C-alpha cells in the first residue's frame, strides 16, 4: 500500500537518506527542512504521514506536532517523531504533544515501515469518513472539539493477559483513570456484551495466541473499529510488526512506564472518539438528506430513489408493486382555524398513524405539504386497496388531540399499481386516483385505471 510521506529534518543528509529509503518501497516522498515549511506543506498538499525530526531550530518537532494536531485541517494526519533522544520522558513529551508514535535514530527499516503501514491504513479509513462527513458545515471543527472535550473521560479497557500478576501491575499503573477489565479468556474479550473502548493484548501470552486474537478482533463486526494496544518485550519486535500488520494500533514496551502507557491510551481513545464523531456526523448528514424533519418520515428525494430500485426489483423478479398517495382533507382549514403550530402537530400525528399501519417492508414518505406516499412492494392491487381502506377508516375513527383541541381528520387516498410505463406512470396514476377521490367528495379510496396515463 503506497502513501505520501512528508519527511521533516533540518539536516540535508538525513532528508536524502530517508528519501532514498522510502523511495525503495515506492512511497511518494515530500521533503521539508524546517517546521514552518512542514506546516505549509501539510496545508497545501495531501499528506498521509509525517516523519518529523524533533531537534530543529525555530519550531522544534514537539511544537510542529502540537500545531498540526490543534488545527482541524491537519489533525487527522499521523505524526511519527524521529529523534536521537531515547529517554522515557522524551517519548512521553512527544505523545503528549499529539504524536502517534516515536522512532529513535538511527532509524531501522523494519520498525519504520511497520509504523508507516499501520498508521496510513488507519488514516485511509478515517479519511473516508472525514470526506463524507465534510458535507455538514462544521464537521471539521465540531467532531474533534467533542473528542478533545471527552478525551479525559473514562474509557472501558479490556486487557487480555495471561497472568494475574500482570493484571495487578496494569491495575496499579492505570489506577482509577479508566474502567479496567482484565481477563485471560480471549473469547470473553471478543464477545463481550458491552463494547470496550480499547483492548490491551499481551504479546508474550502462551496460553492463547495474541496475534490470532488481534485478527479475531479485527474481523469481528462489533470490535473491528476498537483500537488495540500491544504489550511487548524488547525481543518481541518481529511479533510487534506482525501485530501491527494484523490491525493493532500501537504497542508499549516492558518495563512499562506509567506516563508513557497513559499517554498511549489517551492517544488511542482520542482517535477512536474522533472517528466516532465523524460517523455520527455522517449519519446526521444522511438523515438531513433523506428524512423529513417535521414528521420523521422519508422525504421526496429518498422516495424517488427508493421507488426506482423497488420497480427494478419487481420487474426483474416478476413481482407486484403498489403505491398509495394520501392527502389530508381540508388541511388548509386546520391551519386557518387552529394555527400553523397545530397544523404541524397534526402532520406529525398523521405520520405516526401511517407508521403504525404499515408492514415492515412498506415505506412511507412525506412528499410535500399535507401529501404523503406509501410504497408497498409485493402487494397486489386488492391487498393495497384493503390497506388503504383500513388506513382511511382508522384515521376517520381517531380524532387527534392537539393543543387542547379535538380535531377530526379524514384522508383521501389514491392507489396505483405497477404497469409497463415505469416509475413516472405509476406515480401519475396514483396521483390521478387521489385527485378523483378528492373530486368525488374526499374521505375516499380510489384505484387508478391501468390504461395509459396522460402526460406519462
The domain spanning residue 11 has which CATH number?
3.40.50.2300
If DSSP codes are grouped into helix, strand and coil, which group holds residue 264? helix
Give a yes or no: residue 119 inside a domain: no
Q: Which of 370, 380, 389, 398 is catalytic?
A: 370
Cell 471478543 appears where? 190
| Of 75, 109, 143, the domain-final residue | 109
Mean pLDDT of the chain: 87
Q: Which domain holds residue 443?
A: 300-447
| Of 285, 315, 349, the domain-final residue | 285
CATH number at 369 reads 3.30.70.270
* Same-domain check for residues 100 and 218: no
Q: What are 34-79's pLDDT values in tens digits?
A: 999 999 999 999 899 999 999 999 999 999 999 999 998 898 899 9
In sequence order, what are the beta bridge partners of 327?
371, 412
- Looking at the chain, the number of H-run helices and the number of E-run strands are 16, 17
pLDDT value at residue 209: 95
Give a yes or no: residue 257 inside a domain: yes
* Lowest mean pLDDT segment, chosen from 94-108, 111-125, 310-324, 433-447: 111-125
* Same-domain check for residues 255 and 322: no
pLDDT value at residue 30: 96
Give a yes or no: residue 292 inside a domain: no
**What is the number of domains present in the chain?**
3
- Nearest C-alpha neighbor of 248 from the set 267, 271, 224, 266: 224
* Same-domain check for residues 229 and 371: no
* Lowest mean pLDDT segment, chosen from 3-7, 119-123, 232-236, 385-389: 119-123
Please state the pTM of the whole predicted model: 0.58
| Of 223, 258, 285, the domain-final residue | 285
Q: Answer whether residue 349 shows pLDDT above 80.
A: yes
Give a yes or no: residue 117 inside a domain: no
Q: What is the mean pLDDT of residues 431-442?
A: 95
Q: What are 251-295's pLDDT values in tens digits?
A: 998 999 888 898 889 888 888 888 887 777 766 766 777 899 899
* Same-domain check for residues 143 and 269: yes
Give a yes or no: residue 441 inside a domain: yes
Contact 228, 199 (CB under 8 A): yes
Active site residue 245: no
* Same-domain check for residues 29 and 164: no
* Same-domain check for residues 165 and 305: no
pLDDT value at residue 179: 92
Q: What are 105-159's pLDDT values in tens digits?
A: 888 887 888 888 888 877 877 776 665 555 444 433 444 444 444 445 789 999 9
Q: What is the mean pLDDT of residues 203-226?
A: 91
pLDDT value at residue 144: 44
Amino acid at each position: 500500500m503506497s502513501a505520501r510521506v512528508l519527511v521533516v529534518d533540518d539536516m540535508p543528509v538525513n532528508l536524502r537518506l530517508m528519501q532514498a529509503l522510502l523511495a525503495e518501497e515506492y512511497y511518494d516522498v515530500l521533503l521539508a527542512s524546517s517546521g514552518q515549511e512542514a506546516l505549509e506543506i501539510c496545508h497545501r498538499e495531501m499528506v498521509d504521514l509525517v516523519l518529523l525530526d524533533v531537534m530543529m531550530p525555530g519550531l522544534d518537532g514537539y511544537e510542529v506536532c502540537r500545531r498540526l494536531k490543534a488545527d482541524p485541517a491537519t489533525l487527522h494526519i499521523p505524526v511519527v517523531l524521529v529523534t536521537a533522544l531515547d529517554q522515557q520522558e522524551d517519548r512521553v513529551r512527544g505523545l503528549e504533544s499529539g504524536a502517534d508514535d516515536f522512532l529513535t535514530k538511527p532509524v531501522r527499516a523494519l520498525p519504520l515501515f511497520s509504523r508507516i503501514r499501520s498508521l496510513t491504513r488507519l488514516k485511509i479509513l478515517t479519511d473516508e469518513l472525514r470526506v463524507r462527513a465534510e458535507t455538514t458545515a462544521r464537521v471539521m471543527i465540531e467532531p474533534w472539539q467533542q473528542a478533545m472535550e471527552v478525551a479525559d473521560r473514562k474509557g472501558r479497557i479490556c486487557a487480555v493477559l495471561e497472568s494475574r500478576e500482570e493484571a495487578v501491575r496494569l491495575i496499579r499503573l492505570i489506577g482509577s483513570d479508566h474502567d479496567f477489565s482484565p481477563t485471560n479468556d480471549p473469547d470473553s474479550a471478543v464477545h463481550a456484551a458491552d463494547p470496550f473502548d480499547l483492548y490491551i493484548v499481551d504479546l508474550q501470552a502462551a496460553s492463547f495466541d495474541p496475534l490470532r486474537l488481534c485478527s479475531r478482533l479485527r474481523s469481528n463486526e462489533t470490535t473491528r473499529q476498537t483500537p488495540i494496544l500491544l504489550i511487548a518485550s524488547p525481543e518481541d519486535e518481529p511479533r510487534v510488526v506482525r501485530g501491527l500488520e494484523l490491525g493493532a494500533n500501537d504497542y508499549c514496551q516492558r518495563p512499562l512506564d506509567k506516563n508513557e502507557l497513559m499517554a498511549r491510551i489517551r492517544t488511542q481513545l482520542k482517535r477512536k472518539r474522533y472517528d466516532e464523531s465523524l460517523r455520527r456526523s455522517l449519519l446526521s448528514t444522511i438523515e438531513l438528506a433523506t428524512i423529513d424533519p417535521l414528521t420523521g418520515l422519508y422525504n421526496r428525494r429518498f422516495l424517488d430513489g427508493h421507488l426506482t430500485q423497488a420497480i427494478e426489483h419487481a420487474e426483474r423478479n416478476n413481482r407486484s408493486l403498489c403505491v398509495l398517495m394520501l392527502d389530508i382533507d381540508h388541511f388548509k382549514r386546520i391551519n386557518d382555524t387552529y394555527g400553523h403550530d397545530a397544523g404541524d402537530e397534526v402532520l406529525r400525528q398523521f405520520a405516526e398513524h401511517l407508521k403504525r399501519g404499515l408492514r415492515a417492508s412498506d415505506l412511507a414518505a412525506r412528499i410535500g405539504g399535507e401529501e404523503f406516499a406509501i410504497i408497498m412492494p409485493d402487494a397486489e392491487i386488492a391487498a393495497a386497496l384493503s390497506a388503504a381502506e383500513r388506513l382511511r377508516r382508522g384515521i376517520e375513527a381517531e380524532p387527534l388531540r392537539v393543543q387542547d383541541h379535538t380535531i377530526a381528520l379524514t384522508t383521501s387516498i389514491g392507489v396505483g399499481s405497477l404497469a409497463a410505463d415505469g416509475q413516472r406512470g405509476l406515480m401519475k396514476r396514483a396521483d390521478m386516483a387521489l385527485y378523483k377521490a378528492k373530486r368525488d367528495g374526499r374521505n375516499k379510496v380510489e384505484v387508478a385505471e391501468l390504461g395509459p396515463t396522460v402526460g406519462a
